[in-house]
Amino acid sequence: MSEKSFKVRNVSISVADTVDEAKTNFANSLEHQAKVSITARNQFLIGVSGGSLIKTLAEEILPKLRTDFNKWKIFFCDERMVPFDHPESTYGLYKEKLLGKFPGLTEETFVPVNISLSVEEAAKDYESKLRSYFPHEYKDPLPAGQAHFPRFDCLLLGLGPDGHTCSLFPGHPLMKEKTLWVAPIKDSPKPPPERVTLTFPVLHKARNIILFLTGEGKADIIKRIIVDCEKLPGFFINTTEPNCDVIWHLDAAAGSKIPRQKNFMESLEPELKEWEDRTPVFQADSKDIAY
Ligand SMILES: O=C(O)[C@H](O)[C@@H](O)[C@H](O)[C@H](O)COP(=O)(O)O
Protein backbone atom coordinates (compact mmCIF):
# COMPACT_ATOMS: atom_id res chain seq x y z
CA MET A 1 0.00 0.00 0.00
CA SER A 2 1.86 3.08 -1.20
CA GLU A 3 0.93 6.33 0.42
CA LYS A 4 2.56 9.62 1.32
CA SER A 5 2.44 10.65 4.93
CA PHE A 6 3.77 13.81 6.52
CA LYS A 7 4.01 14.85 10.16
CA VAL A 8 4.83 18.08 11.90
CA ARG A 9 4.42 18.25 15.65
CA ASN A 10 1.05 16.67 16.41
CA VAL A 11 -0.38 17.02 12.88
CA SER A 12 -0.08 14.09 10.49
CA ILE A 13 -1.44 13.84 6.98
CA SER A 14 -1.68 10.56 5.10
CA VAL A 15 -2.46 10.62 1.38
CA ALA A 16 -3.47 7.16 0.19
CA ASP A 17 -3.43 6.21 -3.49
CA THR A 18 -7.07 5.11 -3.48
CA VAL A 19 -10.28 5.80 -1.58
CA ASP A 20 -10.30 2.21 -0.35
CA GLU A 21 -6.81 2.58 1.09
CA ALA A 22 -7.87 5.86 2.74
CA LYS A 23 -10.88 4.08 4.26
CA THR A 24 -8.62 1.34 5.63
CA ASN A 25 -6.30 3.97 7.10
CA PHE A 26 -9.26 5.77 8.68
CA ALA A 27 -10.65 2.50 10.11
CA ASN A 28 -7.24 1.56 11.51
CA SER A 29 -6.86 4.96 13.21
CA LEU A 30 -10.34 4.83 14.70
CA GLU A 31 -9.94 1.24 15.89
CA HIS A 32 -6.62 2.15 17.49
CA GLN A 33 -8.04 5.18 19.30
CA ALA A 34 -11.00 3.17 20.60
CA LYS A 35 -8.64 0.43 21.83
CA VAL A 36 -6.33 2.89 23.59
CA SER A 37 -9.25 4.69 25.29
CA ILE A 38 -11.09 1.52 26.34
CA THR A 39 -7.87 -0.03 27.67
CA ALA A 40 -7.03 3.10 29.65
CA ARG A 41 -10.46 4.27 30.79
CA ASN A 42 -12.92 1.48 29.95
CA GLN A 43 -14.82 3.89 27.70
CA PHE A 44 -14.54 5.63 24.34
CA LEU A 45 -16.07 9.12 24.28
CA ILE A 46 -16.32 10.16 20.64
CA GLY A 47 -17.87 13.16 18.89
CA VAL A 48 -19.16 12.68 15.33
CA SER A 49 -20.02 15.16 12.59
CA GLY A 50 -22.82 15.11 10.04
CA GLY A 51 -22.68 15.30 6.25
CA SER A 52 -21.00 12.58 4.18
CA LEU A 53 -19.29 11.13 7.27
CA ILE A 54 -22.53 9.45 8.36
CA LYS A 55 -22.80 7.10 5.35
CA THR A 56 -19.04 6.47 5.27
CA LEU A 57 -18.93 5.51 8.95
CA ALA A 58 -22.03 3.31 8.78
CA GLU A 59 -21.23 1.46 5.55
CA GLU A 60 -17.45 1.50 5.20
CA ILE A 61 -15.72 2.10 8.51
CA LEU A 62 -17.62 0.69 11.51
CA PRO A 63 -18.10 -2.72 9.80
CA LYS A 64 -14.27 -2.99 9.65
CA LEU A 65 -13.71 -2.33 13.33
CA ARG A 66 -12.82 -4.88 15.98
CA THR A 67 -14.13 -3.04 19.03
CA ASP A 68 -16.59 -3.34 21.91
CA PHE A 69 -19.34 -0.85 21.05
CA ASN A 70 -20.75 -1.35 24.55
CA LYS A 71 -17.89 0.90 25.71
CA TRP A 72 -18.62 3.64 23.15
CA LYS A 73 -20.53 6.86 23.87
CA ILE A 74 -21.33 8.88 20.73
CA PHE A 75 -21.80 12.65 21.03
CA PHE A 76 -22.47 15.21 18.29
CA CYS A 77 -19.90 17.79 17.21
CA ASP A 78 -22.85 19.73 15.88
CA GLU A 79 -26.55 19.12 15.27
CA ARG A 80 -29.22 20.76 13.19
CA MET A 81 -32.26 22.01 15.09
CA VAL A 82 -34.78 19.90 13.15
CA PRO A 83 -36.92 16.92 14.25
CA PHE A 84 -35.05 13.61 14.38
CA ASP A 85 -37.21 12.25 11.54
CA HIS A 86 -36.24 15.20 9.32
CA PRO A 87 -33.86 14.24 6.45
CA GLU A 88 -31.40 16.87 7.71
CA SER A 89 -31.19 15.53 11.27
CA THR A 90 -27.68 14.27 11.99
CA TYR A 91 -28.81 12.09 14.93
CA GLY A 92 -31.80 10.87 12.90
CA LEU A 93 -29.48 9.71 10.08
CA TYR A 94 -27.03 8.04 12.48
CA LYS A 95 -29.92 6.22 14.20
CA GLU A 96 -31.30 5.05 10.87
CA LYS A 97 -27.95 3.78 9.60
CA LEU A 98 -26.37 2.39 12.77
CA LEU A 99 -29.06 1.01 15.08
CA GLY A 100 -29.48 -2.75 14.92
CA LYS A 101 -26.38 -3.16 12.75
CA PHE A 102 -23.59 -3.39 15.34
CA PRO A 103 -23.81 -5.48 18.52
CA GLY A 104 -23.56 -3.22 21.55
CA LEU A 105 -24.39 -0.05 19.60
CA THR A 106 -27.87 0.91 20.85
CA GLU A 107 -29.90 4.10 21.35
CA GLU A 108 -28.18 4.43 24.75
CA THR A 109 -24.86 4.72 22.93
CA PHE A 110 -25.88 8.14 21.61
CA VAL A 111 -26.11 11.42 23.54
CA PRO A 112 -28.43 13.48 21.31
CA VAL A 113 -29.15 17.20 21.38
CA ASN A 114 -32.61 18.14 22.69
CA ILE A 115 -33.99 19.65 19.50
CA SER A 116 -37.36 20.37 21.14
CA LEU A 117 -35.80 23.39 22.92
CA SER A 118 -34.93 26.77 21.46
CA VAL A 119 -31.46 26.77 19.88
CA GLU A 120 -30.11 28.84 22.78
CA GLU A 121 -31.61 26.49 25.38
CA ALA A 122 -30.53 23.41 23.42
CA ALA A 123 -26.90 24.60 23.52
CA LYS A 124 -27.06 25.17 27.29
CA ASP A 125 -28.82 21.82 27.81
CA TYR A 126 -26.22 19.94 25.72
CA GLU A 127 -23.39 21.60 27.59
CA SER A 128 -24.91 20.45 30.89
CA LYS A 129 -25.23 16.91 29.47
CA LEU A 130 -21.54 17.03 28.51
CA ARG A 131 -20.61 18.19 32.01
CA SER A 132 -22.17 15.01 33.41
CA TYR A 133 -19.91 12.89 31.16
CA PHE A 134 -16.82 15.06 31.65
CA PRO A 135 -16.89 15.92 35.34
CA HIS A 136 -14.17 18.13 36.66
CA GLU A 137 -13.03 17.79 40.24
CA TYR A 138 -10.35 20.42 40.41
CA LYS A 139 -8.28 21.06 43.47
CA ASP A 140 -7.73 24.77 42.83
CA PRO A 141 -9.91 27.29 41.04
CA LEU A 142 -8.65 28.30 37.60
CA PRO A 143 -6.95 31.68 37.11
CA ALA A 144 -9.38 34.39 35.96
CA GLY A 145 -10.19 34.17 32.25
CA GLN A 146 -9.38 30.48 31.98
CA ALA A 147 -12.08 27.81 31.72
CA HIS A 148 -12.12 24.01 31.80
CA PHE A 149 -13.09 22.04 28.74
CA PRO A 150 -14.13 18.40 28.15
CA ARG A 151 -11.47 16.11 26.77
CA PHE A 152 -13.07 13.86 24.15
CA ASP A 153 -11.14 10.70 23.31
CA CYS A 154 -11.76 11.33 19.62
CA LEU A 155 -13.55 13.85 17.41
CA LEU A 156 -14.43 12.97 13.82
CA LEU A 157 -14.58 16.26 11.94
CA GLY A 158 -15.68 17.12 8.44
CA LEU A 159 -14.53 20.06 6.31
CA GLY A 160 -16.82 22.16 4.16
CA PRO A 161 -15.83 23.87 0.87
CA ASP A 162 -15.48 27.20 2.75
CA GLY A 163 -13.22 25.64 5.35
CA HIS A 164 -15.88 25.25 8.05
CA THR A 165 -15.85 22.40 10.48
CA CYS A 166 -18.65 21.43 12.89
CA SER A 167 -20.85 24.52 12.56
CA LEU A 168 -17.92 26.90 12.95
CA PHE A 169 -17.86 29.05 9.83
CA PRO A 170 -15.16 31.43 8.54
CA GLY A 171 -15.67 34.98 9.77
CA HIS A 172 -18.49 34.02 12.13
CA PRO A 173 -18.30 35.47 15.67
CA LEU A 174 -18.30 31.87 16.98
CA MET A 175 -14.71 31.65 15.71
CA LYS A 176 -13.79 33.77 18.76
CA GLU A 177 -15.84 31.85 21.36
CA LYS A 178 -13.49 31.03 24.25
CA THR A 179 -15.64 29.85 27.16
CA LEU A 180 -18.79 28.04 26.00
CA TRP A 181 -18.47 24.29 25.37
CA VAL A 182 -21.55 24.27 23.12
CA ALA A 183 -22.81 27.32 21.23
CA PRO A 184 -26.03 28.11 19.33
CA ILE A 185 -25.91 29.39 15.78
CA LYS A 186 -28.99 30.81 14.04
CA ASP A 187 -27.44 31.94 10.78
CA SER A 188 -25.52 28.93 9.53
CA PRO A 189 -24.45 29.60 5.93
CA LYS A 190 -24.93 25.84 5.42
CA PRO A 191 -28.66 25.04 5.81
CA PRO A 192 -30.47 24.41 8.00
CA PRO A 193 -29.68 27.75 9.65
CA GLU A 194 -30.25 26.82 13.30
CA ARG A 195 -27.71 24.49 14.89
CA VAL A 196 -25.72 23.87 18.04
CA THR A 197 -21.99 23.26 17.76
CA LEU A 198 -18.96 22.37 19.83
CA THR A 199 -16.60 25.34 20.09
CA PHE A 200 -12.88 25.60 19.32
CA PRO A 201 -11.73 25.29 22.95
CA VAL A 202 -13.44 21.87 23.03
CA LEU A 203 -11.93 20.78 19.69
CA HIS A 204 -8.48 21.84 20.91
CA LYS A 205 -8.80 19.81 24.10
CA ALA A 206 -9.54 16.46 22.42
CA ARG A 207 -7.08 13.58 22.74
CA ASN A 208 -7.23 13.19 19.00
CA ILE A 209 -9.01 14.50 15.96
CA ILE A 210 -9.49 12.49 12.78
CA LEU A 211 -10.57 13.88 9.40
CA PHE A 212 -11.42 11.62 6.47
CA LEU A 213 -11.62 13.56 3.22
CA THR A 214 -11.74 12.10 -0.29
CA GLY A 215 -12.38 13.26 -3.86
CA GLU A 216 -11.34 16.18 -6.08
CA GLY A 217 -14.01 18.33 -4.47
CA LYS A 218 -11.97 18.61 -1.26
CA ALA A 219 -8.61 19.29 -2.94
CA ASP A 220 -8.89 23.09 -3.10
CA ILE A 221 -9.95 23.66 0.50
CA ILE A 222 -7.32 21.22 1.73
CA LYS A 223 -4.66 23.16 -0.20
CA ARG A 224 -5.92 26.47 1.23
CA ILE A 225 -5.65 25.09 4.75
CA ILE A 226 -2.66 22.74 4.70
CA VAL A 227 -0.43 24.46 2.13
CA ASP A 228 -1.53 28.10 2.12
CA CYS A 229 -2.28 28.07 5.87
CA GLU A 230 -5.32 30.29 5.43
CA LYS A 231 -6.73 30.99 8.89
CA LEU A 232 -9.94 29.09 8.26
CA PRO A 233 -11.69 26.90 10.85
CA GLY A 234 -10.05 23.87 9.28
CA PHE A 235 -6.62 25.42 9.97
CA PHE A 236 -7.44 25.95 13.64
CA ILE A 237 -8.01 22.18 13.89
CA ASN A 238 -4.21 21.83 13.55
CA THR A 239 -3.44 24.23 16.36
CA THR A 240 -4.56 22.01 19.20
CA GLU A 241 -2.78 21.44 22.48
CA PRO A 242 0.41 19.41 22.18
CA ASN A 243 -1.21 16.30 23.63
CA CYS A 244 -3.82 16.13 20.88
CA ASP A 245 -2.99 14.24 17.69
CA VAL A 246 -4.60 15.52 14.50
CA ILE A 247 -4.78 12.97 11.70
CA TRP A 248 -5.86 13.93 8.18
CA HIS A 249 -6.75 10.80 6.15
CA LEU A 250 -6.97 11.73 2.46
CA ASP A 251 -7.07 9.88 -0.82
CA ALA A 252 -4.92 10.95 -3.80
CA ALA A 253 -7.71 13.08 -5.29
CA ALA A 254 -8.33 15.09 -2.11
CA GLY A 255 -4.59 15.40 -1.48
CA SER A 256 -3.76 16.17 -5.12
CA LYS A 257 -2.82 19.81 -4.39
CA ILE A 258 -0.49 19.04 -1.49
CA PRO A 259 3.14 19.24 -2.66
CA ARG A 260 4.84 15.89 -2.49
CA GLN A 261 8.16 17.17 -1.23
CA LYS A 262 8.77 16.20 2.35
CA ASN A 263 9.69 19.65 3.62
CA PHE A 264 6.39 21.38 2.91
CA MET A 265 5.01 20.27 6.28
CA GLU A 266 7.90 22.01 8.03
CA SER A 267 6.62 25.20 6.39
CA LEU A 268 3.46 24.67 8.44
CA GLU A 269 5.44 24.90 11.69
CA PRO A 270 6.00 28.68 11.79
CA GLU A 271 2.36 29.27 10.89
CA LEU A 272 1.16 27.00 13.69
CA LYS A 273 3.63 28.54 16.13
CA GLU A 274 2.70 32.09 15.13
CA TRP A 275 -1.01 31.41 15.59
CA GLU A 276 -0.55 29.80 18.99
CA ASP A 277 1.78 32.57 20.21
CA ARG A 278 -0.94 35.04 19.33
CA THR A 279 -3.78 33.04 20.80
CA PRO A 280 -2.62 31.21 23.90
CA VAL A 281 -6.17 30.88 25.20
CA PHE A 282 -6.29 27.11 24.74
CA GLN A 283 -3.46 26.36 27.14
CA ALA A 284 -4.01 23.17 29.06
CA ASP A 285 -4.37 23.80 32.76
CA SER A 286 -1.65 21.70 34.37
CA LYS A 287 -4.08 20.79 37.13
CA ASP A 288 -6.41 19.28 34.55
CA ILE A 289 -7.15 15.74 35.62
CA ALA A 290 -6.59 13.36 32.71
CA TYR A 291 -9.56 11.12 32.09
O1 LIG B 1 -23.75 18.73 10.15
C2 LIG B 1 -22.93 19.25 9.39
O3 LIG B 1 -23.24 19.99 8.47
C4 LIG B 1 -21.49 18.85 9.56
O5 LIG B 1 -21.13 18.60 10.83
C6 LIG B 1 -20.56 19.74 8.79
O7 LIG B 1 -19.57 20.37 9.55
C8 LIG B 1 -19.91 18.81 7.78
O9 LIG B 1 -18.98 17.97 8.45
C10 LIG B 1 -19.21 19.60 6.71
O11 LIG B 1 -20.15 20.49 6.15
C12 LIG B 1 -18.67 18.65 5.62
O13 LIG B 1 -19.78 17.98 5.05
P14 LIG B 1 -19.49 16.87 3.90
O15 LIG B 1 -18.67 15.80 4.56
O16 LIG B 1 -20.87 16.36 3.54
O17 LIG B 1 -18.76 17.56 2.81
Question: How many Cα atoms are found within 13 Å in the side-chain-facing hemisphere of 131?
Answer: 13
Measured CA distances, 198 to 47, 184, 217, 227 (Å):
9, 9, 25, 26
Stretch 183-196: mean pLDDT, rounded?
A: 97
| Pocket probe mutation, ligand 1, options 48, 78, 157, 199, max atoms within 8 Å of Cβ | 78
| Pocket probe mutation, ligand 1, options 190, 198, 199, 220, max atoms within 8 Å of Cβ | 190
pLDDT of the residue at 138:
52
Percent of the chain scored above 90 by pLDDT?
Answer: 72
Q: Band of the pLDDT at 146, cuts 50, 70, 90?
A: low
pLDDT of the residue at 240:
82
Q: Which residues line ligand 1 (CB under 6 A)?
A: 49-53, 77-78, 90, 158-160, 164-166, 190
Distance between Cα 159 and ligand 1 center (Å): 6
Say which residues have a Cβ less than 8 Å from residue 106's Cβ, sequence separation at least 6.
Answer: 99
In a domain, 239, yes or no: yes
Distance between Cα 195 and ligand 1 center (Å): 12
Stretch 196-204: mean pLDDT, rounded?
A: 95
**Is the distance from CB of 251 to CB of 21 less than 8 angstroms?**
yes
Q: Residue 235: which domain range?
A: 5-137+147-276
Instruction: Specify the amino acid at residue 280.
Output: P
In a domain, 218, yes or no: yes
In a domain, 288, yes or no: no
- What does pLDDT average to over the chain? 88
In a domain, 290, yes or no: no
Q: How many domains does the chain have?
A: 1
Closest CA to ligand 1's atom 16: 51
Atom index in ligand 1 nearest the CA of residue 164 equals: 7
In a domain, 252, yes or no: yes
* 119-141 pLDDT, tens digit each: 999 999 999 999 999 987 555 56
DSSP string, 195-235: EEEE-HHHHHHSSEEEEEE-SGGGHHHHIIIIIS---SHHH
Q: pTM here?
A: 0.90
DSSP H/E element including 125: helix 119-133
- pLDDT exceeds 50 at position 290: no
DSSP H/E element including 96: helix 90-98
Distance between Cα 54 and ligand 1 center (Å): 9
User: Which range, of 20-34, 130-144, 151-165, averages the lowest pLDDT?
Assistant: 130-144
In a domain, 281, yes or no: no
The CATH number of the domain holding residue 222 is: 3.40.50.1360
In a domain, 282, yes or no: no
Distance between Cα 152 and ligand 1 center (Å): 19
Q: Band of the pLDDT at 229, cuts 50, 70, 90?
A: confident
| Pocket probe mutation, ligand 1, options 46, 52, 86, 216, max atoms within 8 Å of Cβ | 52
In a domain, 285, yes or no: no
